[in-house]
Amino acid sequence: MPMMTADQYEASLRALNLEVYMFGKRVTNVVDDPIIRPSMNAVAKTYELAHDPAYADLMTARSHLSGKRINRFTHIHQSTDDLVKKSKMGRLLGRKTGCCFQRCVGMDALNALSIITYNIDQKHETHYNERFKRYLATVQEKDLVCDGAMTDPKGDRSLPPHRQPDPDHYLRIVEKREDGIVVRGAKAHQTGAVNSHEVIVMPTIAMGEADRDYAVSFALPSDARGIIYILGRQSCDTRKLEGGAMDQGNMLFGGHEALVVFDDVFVPWDRVFMCGEYEFAGSLVEMFAAYHRQSYACKVGVGDVLIGAAQLAAEYNGAARASHVKDKLIEMNHLNETLYCGCLACATEGKKKLSGTYAVNTLLANIHKQNVTRFPYEIARLAQDIAGGLMVTLPSQKDLDGDATGKWVQKYFKAQPGIPTADRMRILRLIENLTLGTAAVGYLTESMHGAGSPQAQRIMIGRKINMAEKKTAAMRLCGIDVKSE
Ligand code: SF4
Ligand code: FE
């Protein structure tokens, strides 16, 4: 059966030879590194739940290539039902992990490439789609995690790729050989990069003819020679090194991002999916972005965790019955379920593309992600309001456990009878983690900038809205001659 267990996934990562750096030093044991490990645990959850009969319908699908049951993260959507299940899977995993579980970017890259390689072939009589399908068959059969790598460092934002003072600020082809291409550049903010078996590179913006060398898409094993990973820092990350697991808030899971450098890396032709067809760079970006904006169903699941934590914080200190607290919790739920509506709507309004893949409704996916740039911030504000200042003034677990301090921490942070002080501290630490700590990267900043910053969605909304239809509707109702428009 082509589905790895969580243990097999961990073992498969140990077999990789990644060049990873953090705090200026090479990380030799990536899987067991205490800063990275929680992010591996989060990806492992995507394997674990796929083997749980209770979640099989959401977490697995039947491959349209092999007919075998596969992990949904490697699946090409064959119906709107598949798209809906993808949204539900994202919420489920967000709720189970309370963080970014990282595997969606690869799924979204695979689906976008299944459509765009087909379209390129139609115009140029190339064979990218067959090539891509062979690659996809391997990903499905081996149940791999793919890092979907789109965002270039971008240098001077006012200039296109070919006019950058440093030509490597967008990833590019530096050599074409008989057996493949050599690429140079970098991809920034790469979610889950060092938990991935593969990296799938795509261009990051629409391009013109002069940018031809930058219009490139390919896949490589994540430990291919010349790929270097530099881990990003997260707020409060070194709490994972200090002992006192309670202080981490989320004691099990986390996410990570990395700068991925391609230092003249060779890509064989059978792994190249776009090579100079610059006029398709924009549509690949749009297609990937629409899928990935739908993927922000994950934040609904993380929102479930934060709402639950806020409710518990109120119950633990005796404030849960106050009408304003109840109302704040209703508002949090209203916002969170509104997000859920968006990621379901873009899925149910999905359409079949020429390649046979189902794509989400682009307008609604962008509307959904635009809401995601806002609502989690308001949900987080309300959670902090309910939690109170103790969330950020609380002593450490070591003080709770300390000989001289323990009795005072126990005594003065006790609230509702029957609720252990330690439990009250745990829930406040979880709210801190989700709104200010490592998980705030995923719940807040990633909600803002992941899958494109807010303005990127507004541009798409402007492009996709049918304004003529709206004007006609207004003109008809008030007697203006529609033909005059
Ligand atoms: Fe998936 Fe959400 Fe993480 Fe993006 S932010 S990779 S959609 S879990
Ligand atoms: Fe993301």
Catalytic residue among 191, 362, 435, 438: 191
Q: Are residues 238 and 311 in the same domain?
A: no
Sheet strands (E) in 202-288: 216-221, 227-231, 257-268, 272-275
Give me the residue label for tokens 């950058």. 164
Percent of the chain residues past pLDDT 90, beyond the cut:
98
Q: Are residues 277 and 297 in the same domain?
A: no
| Residue 47 domain-assigned (yes or no) | no
Q: Are residues 305 and 262 in the same domain?
A: no
**Confidence bin at 302 (pLDDT 50/70/90):** very high
Tally of domains in the chain: 2
**For residues 151 and 5, what is the distance between their CA atoms, to the nearest angstrom?**
30
Q: Are residues 354 and 457 in the same domain?
A: yes
Domain ranges, residue 317 = 293-472
| Residue 82 domain-assigned (yes or no) | no
| 46 Cβ inside 6 Å of ligand 1 | no
Nearest ligand 1 atom to the CA of 94 is 8
| Residue 482 domain-assigned (yes or no) | no
Q: How many CB atoms within 10 Å of residue 472?
A: 14
Told to judge if 146 belongs to the known catalytic residues of this protein, a careful annotator would answer no
Nearest ligand 1 atom to the CA of 104 is 1
Whichever domain contains 440, its CATH number is 1.20.140.10
Which residue's CA is the nearest one to ligand 1's atom 1? 104
Encode pLDDT of 381-426 as tens digits. 999 999 999 999 999 999 999 999 999 999 999 999 999 999 999 9
Encode pLDDT of 419-444 as tens digits. 999 999 999 999 999 999 999 999 99
Which residue's CA is the nearest one to ligand 1's atom 6? 102
User: How many residues appear in the chain?
Assistant: 485
Q: If you measure from the C-alpha of residue 448 to the centroid of ligand 2, how many angstroms do you get, rounded to a whole number?
A: 10
Q: Are residues 253 and 160 in the same domain?
A: yes
Best of 72, 97, 100 for a ligand 1 pocket test (most atoms within 8 Å of beta carbon): 100
| 295 Cβ inside 6 Å of ligand 1 | yes
| Residue 57 domain-assigned (yes or no) | no
Q: Are residues 12 and 159 in the same domain?
A: yes
Q: Are residues 123 and 255 in the same domain?
A: yes
Q: Are residues 326 and 254 in the same domain?
A: no
How is 331-347 classified by DSSP, letter by letter? HHHHHHHHHHHHHHHHH
| Residue 55 domain-assigned (yes or no) | no
**For residues 413 and 389, what is the distance between their CA atoms, to the nearest angstrom?**
12
Encode pLDDT of 121-162 as tens digits. 999 999 999 999 999 999 999 999 999 999 999 999 999 999
Q: Which of 281, 316, 334 is the last residue of a domain?
A: 281
| Residue 117 domain-assigned (yes or no) | yes
Structure tokens at 18: 């990644």
Q: What is the mean pLDDT of the chain?
A: 97
Q: Are residues 325 and 387 in the same domain?
A: yes
| Residue 188 domain-assigned (yes or no) | yes
Whichever domain contains 118, its CATH number is 2.40.110.10
Q: Are residues 265 and 319 in the same domain?
A: no
CA atoms within 13 A on the CB side of 437: 26
Give me the residue label for tokens 């697995």. 60
Q: Are residues 214 and 351 in the same domain?
A: no
| Residue 353 domain-assigned (yes or no) | yes
Best of 195, 291, 296 for a ligand 1 pocket test (most atoms within 8 Å of beta carbon): 296
Q: Are residues 421 and 385 in the same domain?
A: yes
Number of the ligand closest to the Cα of 368: 1
Angle at 443 between CA 438 and CA 446, to 5 degrees: 95
